[in-house]
A and B are shown apart, each in its own frame.
Chain A
Amino acid sequence: MRGAAATEKRGMRELGAEKLVGWDEVTHGVVINSFEGDAANIASLTSEERIYSDFNSYTATVASWRVVKPVYNRDICIDCQNCWVWCPDTSIISRDKQMLGIDYDHCKGCGVCVEVCPTNPKSLLMFIEAEENDSALSQWPEKKKKEKE
């Protein structure tokens, strides 16, 4: 299945030198393919439908950059997609106008998504990396009352 090909490769490697050809062995003007095979209609395919090549950074992970991580609470989310449009690391997964969750292979823990989330309480909150998501969800804060001015 095509989808499987893409998912299988997810976050396999930490960024670094791998078994691929080294830079010194590469001739000038090297071309790196982002995909296997024909990539003419890439814009019409979701990530699951694509066949990423080993050169695509989609197959790599920067998870080790994080010290804190965003946790997503589906129960409060209104699918506004603010987090999707402003995530600088393509790490908010949205399909069919619904926010599905966070791509922890590519998220760097910047916290932008939490800041732009408009719900009360927020549907995304930062927790330390070591916290289990279930335990994070069980500590979710209550709705904040509007403070009197």
Chain B
Amino acid sequence: MAITSVKNLKEFSTSNERFEGAHLLCPGCAHSMIVRELMNCTDDNLVIATNTGCLEVSTAVYPYTSWDTSWIHIGFENAATAASGAEAMYKARKRKGTLKDPDASVKFVAFGGDGSTYDIGFQWLSGAVERGHDFTYICLDNENYANTGGQRSSSTPIGATTSTAQAGRVSYGKKEKKKDMVAIMAAHGAPYVAQLAPNKWKIMAQGFQKALETKGPCFINTVSACTTEWKFDPKDTIHLTDLATDSLMFPVYEIINGHELNILYRPKTIVPVEEYLNAQGRYKHLFKPENKHVIEEIKKGITETWEMLQRREEARV
């Protein structure tokens, strides 16, 4: 495969853009940072399927497309299905010798939000990974259904207020914990699974390249800060993502073949999670005295996850 050098930013910046501007994502949206980096980190021909969500509605508003590659829009649940179908067809045509350019290097990628990945498209994704298609599924995880008005998804963390799990006099927002999608996908035995973040651009680009190079189904969960629903100033997208990775709210790690876990980023100093929570409107209510226990619960969750990840890294299980 033709890899773009990501040794340093200067070299990476010589790659040609394949995700065009004048899409309609909100100013400061992390979705486009992530998608653009995926497309810039390789020269291969890409076949990309995107299911319904912010990314799809904002990049293909008729008569415009922002995609400089083959791109399919598909229903809310089917990004993995479309990508695996295209990949199966490509393999069949290669075998029959009916491809126009049989030597071209082609990669299949699917993008979905957390609504489609964690909830609506979950069984389709599971099926595609179980069938072992050679594709990479990237979840743009902004922890809610941002495209339809900020409803809770099974990725929304405990304590966040959403339009369907609102904080108020009796409720502190969502009561359930975030689903551990990375572990679930690793349990499928997928050859490469990771959780990456756009503030760590190099780790993210290297992770994308690993996934594209790996034969078989790969899954990557990316942290995508949402200025509109998380409620922060658009200029702070990267700063907020720094707080997310450095407070260990979003640990950055990979799992190879379902058991080799590597932590890819260890913050020098761990930022108190209050700083991350306090920087967003969706957690403001947690700082009322009656909600203190939710912050304690979030902290406990972070410590347990970090402990678990370190143990798994050591034990290789």
A contact residues vs B (CB 8 Å cutoff)? 15, 17-18, 20-21, 23, 26, 32, 34-35, 39-40, 42-47, 54-58, 60-62, 65, 79-82, 84-91, 94-97, 103, 105-112, 114-116
Please name all residues of chain B whose beta carbon is closer than 8 Å to the beta carbon of A109 when the two chains form the complex. Answer: 27
Interface centre among A45, A80, A88, A108 (most CB of B within 10 A): A88
Per the bound structure, the CA–CA distance linking A54 and B97 in Å amounts to 34
Given contacts A55-B63, A58-B22, 8 further A-B contacts (CB under 8 A): A35-B68, A40-B101, A43-B44, A55-B65, A62-B24, A94-B13, A110-B27, A112-B235
**B22 partner, pick from A15, A23, A45, A81, beta carbons under 8 A:** A15
Establish whether residues A110 and B22, one from each chain, have CB atoms under 8 Å apart when the complex forms.
no
Provide the residues of chain B in CB contact with A60, threshold 8 Å.
22, 64
With A32-B65, A56-B20, A90-B36 already in contact, the answer to whether A85 and B237 are too (CB < 8 A) is no
Per DSSP, are chain B's interface residues mostly helix, strand or loop, or mixed? loop
Q: Are B21 and A97 in contact (CB under 8 A)?
A: no
Interchain CA distance A105-B21 in the complex, whole Å? 8
How distant is the Cα of A46 from the Cα of B65 in the complex, in angstroms? 18
**Residues in B29-79 with C-beta less than 8 Å from chain A:** 29-33, 36-37, 42-45, 59-69
B124 at the interface (CB under 8 A from A): no
> Which residues of the other chain, A, contact B11 by a CB distance below 8 angstroms?
97
- Roughly how many angstroms separate A112 CA and B201 CA in the complex, as a whole number? 14
Shortest distance from the beta carbon of A49 to any chain B beta carbon, whole Å: 9
* Chain B residue with Cβ nearest A88: B32
- Is there an interface contact between A91 and B21, defined as CB atoms closer than 8 Å? yes
Q: For A46, what are the chain B residues with a Cβ–Cβ distance below 8 Å?
A: 16
Which residues of chain A come closer than 8 Å to B67, judged between CB atoms? 34
Instruction: Give complex CA distance A18, B36 in Å.
Output: 27
A15-B64, A44-B16, A57-B66 given as contacts; is B21 within 8 A of A81 (CB)? Answer: no
Q: Mark B227-263, 1 if CB is under 8 A from A, else 0.
A: 0000001111111000000000000000000000000
Q: Which A residues are in CB contact (< 8 Å) with B66?
A: 56-58
User: How distant is the Cα of A32 from the Cα of B237 in the complex, in angstroms?
Assistant: 32
Complex CA–CA separation, A26 to B18 (angstroms): 26
Partner of A81, one of B12, B234, B235, B238: B12
**Are the CB atoms of A23 and B62 closer together than 8 Å?**
yes
**Candidate in B12, B18, B22, B236 with the most chain A CB atoms within 10 angstroms:** B22
B14 interfacial by beta-carbon distance below 8 Å: yes
* B9 part of interface (Cβ distance < 8 Å): yes
Q: Whose C-beta in chain B lies nearest to the C-beta of A30?
A: B62
Q: Which residue of B lies closest to A82 (CB)?
A: B9
Report B-chain residues with C-beta under 8 Å of the C-beta of A85. Answer: 9, 12-13, 33, 37, 201
User: Which of A42, A86, A88 meets B18, CB within 8 Å?
Assistant: A42
Shortest CB–CB separation between residue B45 and chain A, in angstroms? Answer: 8
Q: Report if B169 contacts A (CB, 8 A).
A: no
3 tightest Cβ-Cβ pairs between the two chains A and B: A106-B21, A111-B235, A110-B27
Chain B contacts for A89, CB-based, 8 A: 21-23, 27, 32
In the bound complex, residues from chain A placing their C-beta under 8 Å from that of B17 are: 47, 90
A–B complex contacts, Cβ < 8 Å, 27 sampled: A15-B64, A18-B63, A23-B62, A32-B62, A35-B68, A42-B18, A47-B16, A57-B59, A58-B21, A80-B9, A84-B9, A85-B9, A85-B33, A85-B37, A86-B198, A88-B30, A88-B32, A89-B21, A90-B32, A91-B21, A94-B13, A94-B14, A96-B14, A105-B22, A106-B20, A111-B28, A116-B238
